[in-house]
Amino acid sequence: MSKSSEGFKTINHIGKNVKLGKNVKIWNFTYIGDSTEIGDNVVIGSLSHIDYKVKIGKNCKIEGNVYIPPLTVIGDNVFIGPGAIFTNDPYPPSKRLSGTLVENGAVIGAGSIIKAGVKIGKNSVVAMGSVVTEDVPQDTVVMGVPAKRVYSRDEYDRKREDWEKSL
């Protein structure tokens, strides 16, 4: 527990055997489960729940209200938007869990839901509100319910650059 500038107490739970890299920032009311590993320069938003035995690479930004269950592996330079939900049980409640893999450079949009056992490929983008039920190839943008390929990461980057220039 620590005091904020307004004098209110902020509470986070950091479990046992958690490995935090350098310059990790964890915002208010966040849960980090036992035996989780978090790399350098990671930011985790308020009200997020990172369960036990999760691995997060370096230079990641995880926005608020994100749920990441046990056995999830997140690579380096990954962005996860607010309210994204990862799952680890394709047939709940089962006795067998399956982790999700998010490879380096991926972007997971706000409010997305990722099915247990899915792999999000390197530099792929999951658009906001998408429901991912199968693997996403690298350098691919998917959107919808269920998520389907809509264009390449290069096309996405061009669209983002055009958007930023229009400001």
Residue 25 belongs to some domain of the structure: yes
15-56 tens-digit pLDDT: 999 999 999 999 999 999 999 999 999 999 999 999 999 999
Residue 70 belongs to some domain of the structure: yes
Here the CATH number for the domain that contains residue 85 is 2.160.10.10
Residue range of the domain that includes 161: 15-165
pLDDT of residue 62: 98
Residue 42 belongs to some domain of the structure: yes
Residue 84 belongs to some domain of the structure: yes
| Closest by CA position to 76, among listed 115, 126, 40, 100 | 40
With 90 as the cut, is the pLDDT of residue 75 above it? yes
Angstrom distance (rounded) from CA 72 to CA 56: 8
Q: How confident is the model at residue 4 (pLDDT cuts 50, 70, 90)?
A: very low
Residue 6 belongs to some domain of the structure: no
48-69 tens-digit pLDDT: 999 999 999 999 999 999 999 9
pTM for the whole structure: 0.92
Cβ neighbors of 165 (< 8 A, separation 6 or more) are none
Residue 10 belongs to some domain of the structure: no
105-161 tens-digit pLDDT: 999 999 999 999 999 999 999 999 999 999 999 999 999 999 999 999 999 999 999
What integer is the mean pLDDT of 88-115?
95
pLDDT of residue 9: 61
Residue 7 belongs to some domain of the structure: no
Residue 2 belongs to some domain of the structure: no
Q: Which two tokens stand for residue 47?
A: 């009200």
What integer is the mean pLDDT of 67-74?
97
Chain position carrying tokens 């706000």? 110
Total domains in the fold of the chain: 1
With 50 as the cut, is the pLDDT of residue 10 above it? yes
Q: How confident is the model at residue 2 (pLDDT cuts 50, 70, 90)?
A: very low
